[in-house]
Amino acid sequence: MFDVKLPLEQETTSPYLEQALRSWDKVNKLQAGGKVLLDGENLDIASVIAVARHHSQATVSPNGDIARRVESGVKWLREYLANGYQVYGVTTGFGGSADSRTLDFHGLQAALLQLTQTGVLSESDLDPAKANYDIGFHSMPVSWVRATIVVRCNHLLRGHSGVRFEIIAYLLRLLDLGMTPVVPLRGSISASGDLMPLAYIAGILEGNPDIKVHWEREKNGKTVVISAAEALDVAGLEPIVLGPKEGLGLLNGAAASAAVASMAIYDTNQLAILCQSIVGMSCEALLGNAENYHHFVAAIRPHSGQLEIARNIRHFVRGSSLLETSETKNRTRTGLFQDRYALRGASQWMGPGLEDLLLSIKQLSTELNSTQDNPVIDTQSGEVYSGCNFQAASVTTATEKTRLALQMMGKMLFSVSSELINPDLNRGLPSNLSADDPNLSFTMKGVDINMAAYMSELAFLANPVSSHVQSAEMNNQPINSLAFISARYTMQAVEVLSLMSAAHLYVACQALDLRVLNVTFQDALDEEIRIATREVLNKLAEEPLASLQAELIKTARDAWVNSARETLHLRAQLVANAIAPPAMDILGQHGPSSTHHTDSLSAISDMMARVRSSCISLFESMRENAFSEPQTERYLGDGAKLLYQFVRNELKVPFHRGLVEHPTVKSGSGLNRERKTIGSWISIIYAAIRSEQITGSLMEMANCFECRNCNRQKNGLNGNHITCDVDAVI
């Protein structure tokens, strides 16, 4: 037998969570007024997000060596050319046309922009008010363009590209003014970099009147579309005539791919933490066993991702009254003895994805601070080298790993949500999580169908893009990374998983409300059975009475759970019918003298009627109280409580009562709030996920997981203190 030495719980780290928290925290600080300082070496994903989405100002680091480094490369290139040397893309044509020669340096750079400004834009891209809704947009979102500009500026600051410092300053000035070119969405194969998208960014510098510019006149204010020439005029800048290699230096890199990939993986960070919390929340709703995530189980198969997810879920479910633990589980239970695969295998299923995501983040972080050009200038050795640094396969593999991780998370959510909705699997919750008549109300059935649609799309998106490379540009580019396409698809995968997370969160909150209703109802029914048996069988001795009560309670609970598909009245009758046989057995042993009735059948009939009546009245009363003043959060673990409170209290998404919620159904239910479609409620949750409202609160809580100093106060939603007992092991 192996002697397994387990690491201490406090020594178990969460490397993925830690980097996600650092990134999220930095975005918040930059959003609050910090500047992003560019130096070619220290740009990170958080800074890209802050500039792209929150309009944080990007400026060159005050280190004077940076400008000198940039201008040194420009000066050295001119001296190199003065010697009559040939330089690719400066004295030669491009790609498969590199056998041509010219000394018209400026004309060649203009020609490069001409050959690459070939993307398609529609009327809707230039005037959204006139959008063709059959086609939609063919342009990159403004945030993507902003991210691309800041990434490319950081690349150029490394001084290997031969692009003047003035050009970088122009781009950052336009970015600060909220001016970004309208850039076509499709057309880049990310071979010699993202030539086409970057050509439209370069076009604004020339003042090209046919390049259009989004101008956000005020932060979160009105946006207009003007020409590049007008944009330069508004900015007080003169059009630039691109010098030797400056066009190529602006275009010849995969900045768009790296930028959009960085945005996608930042969003994936948020969703990965949310998914782990939702899994814990669902485990509670299904009366699952926290043993699934026990430290011992993870430690004896010590993959870092599995260890981390198990640890995180343990924190999320801490304090739950609904979960079994190793100490409380029924070791002699009948029926399903352990949780089904989805819950039980959550850490093993999603763990490898965290490990892949960490590698993806490392790859993208390297890419953000790399020289992606060809050719590249080495002023130290006095040489120009031709290479292939624009080939963005590292970005492609990073995004493909990210999409696969997103797909694994989505499959987890889909599997668990199906289990919650299906009465054959959800351990006694009603069909489709309907709170009223299950024969007339099918609350979550449509959501179950939606989740299947989302999952199918997400699974399709998880397919690799890199296996679909086509030879391009006179067969000069037989291998090309397709990194930008892969990054775009990864953003789509983020979108789909966000939809799935919103839908599942809605389902989970409904399931928890119903679960707590059932738990509290069964406790109340237990007491009713005790009272009924004592009063009806008032002459039965204490020992057989206690035995009968225990048997009837177990039987009634089983009957209630097994009749979850039925209406309340039929469920009550089935519970009453179920208690008859064990009651008959006990009374048969002790005879009619044990009651004030003339025979046992009469006693049993009275008890059945009383239990049936109590079932109906108790449940109706408790259900109404649950609708108006739910007690659910008192039963929940830390993570589920935070998410539940946010959905119910902050977003005001209510416990769904059934058919009465439908906006066109006339009813005297006394519902004194707005009625919406189920999709509208889920849409509210979705918007909160995409705006980071929900994930922001969750990240605040997750901060406590990593807190080694409990004197550092961390507050959860509504100011509730979240304890940070990192040594707790379920």
Give the pLDDT band (50/70/90) at residue 124: confident
3-state SS string over 326-351?
A: CCCCCCCCCCCCCCCHHHHCHHHHHH
Q: How would you list the strands of the sheet with 179-181, edge to edge?
A: 179-181, 212-216, 223-227
Give the pLDDT band (50/70/90) at residue 3: very low
Where do runs of H (alpha helix) occur along 83-117? 105-116
Query: What's the mean pLDDT in 131-146?
Result: 85
SS3 627: helix
Burial of residue 107 (CB within 10 Å: 0-12, 13-18, 19+) is exposed
Query: What's the mean pLDDT in 403-411?
Result: 97
Q: What percent of the chain has pLDDT over 90?
A: 65
Query: What's the mean pLDDT in 686-703?
Result: 89
pLDDT on residue 711: 35
Whether the predicted pLDDT of 68 surpasses 50: yes
pLDDT on residue 361: 97
Q: What is the pLDDT of residues 496-540, one digit of tens each?
A: 999 999 999 999 999 999 999 999 999 999 999 999 888 877 777
Whether the predicted pLDDT of 380 surpasses 60: yes
Residue with tokens 């498969």: 96
Burial per residue of 618-638, b for 16 or more beta-carbon CB atoms within 10 angstroms, e otherwise: bbeebbeebbeebebbebbbb
Query: What's the mean pLDDT in 78-87?
Result: 92
Lowest mean pLDDT among 76-80, 237-241, 472-476: 472-476
pLDDT on residue 717: 33
Domain-wise residue ranges, the chain? 35-253
* Encoded tokens for 611: 């239990």
Of the segments 47-51, 110-114, 138-142, 421-425, which one has the largest average pLDDT value? Answer: 47-51
Q: What is the pLDDT of residues 304-358, one digit of tens each?
A: 999 999 999 999 999 999 998 877 777 867 677 787 878 888 898 899 999 999 9
Query: What single letter denotes the amino acid at residue 442?
Result: F
Which positions are catalytic?
Answer: 88
pLDDT on residue 644: 97
More confident site: 482 or 413:
413
Lowest mean pLDDT among 197-201, 219-223, 502-506: 219-223
Query: What's the mean pLDDT in 693-711?
Result: 70
Burial per residue of 673-688, b for 16 or more beta-carbon CB atoms within 10 angstroms, e otherwise: eebbebeebbbebbeb
pLDDT on residue 590: 62
Name the CATH topology of 35-253. Answer: Fumarase C; Chain B, domain 1 (1.10.275)
Q: What percent of the chain has pLDDT over 70?
A: 90
CB–CB of 375/384 below 8 Å?
yes
3-state SS string over 646-709?
A: HHHHHCCCCCCCCHHHCCCCCCCCCCCCCCCCHHHHHHHHHHHHHCCHHHHHHHHHHHHHCCCC
Q: What is the pLDDT of residues 618-665, one digit of tens each?
A: 999 999 999 999 999 999 999 999 999 999 999 999 999 999 998 888
Q: What is the pLDDT of residues 555-593, one digit of tens each?
A: 999 999 999 999 999 999 999 999 988 888 877 776 554
Q: Cα–Cα distance between 709 and 697 in angstroms, integer?
A: 20
Q: Is the previous residue joined to 544 through a cis bond, with omega within 30 degrees of 0?
A: no
pLDDT on residue 522: 94
Whether the predicted pLDDT of 544 surpasses 60: yes
Beta bridge partners of 223: 216
Query: What's the mean pLDDT in 385-403?
Result: 90
Report the mean per-residue pLDDT for the chain: 88
Q: Which of these, 695, 699, 675, lies nearest to 687 by C-alpha position?
A: 695
Q: What is the pLDDT of residues 276-292, one digit of tens each?
A: 999 999 999 999 988 88
pLDDT on residue 420: 96
Interior angle at CA 71, CA 68 and CA 75, nearest 5: 130
Whether the predicted pLDDT of 430 surpasses 80: yes
pLDDT on residue 366: 96
User: Dihedral of CA 640/644/645/651: which sign?
Assistant: positive
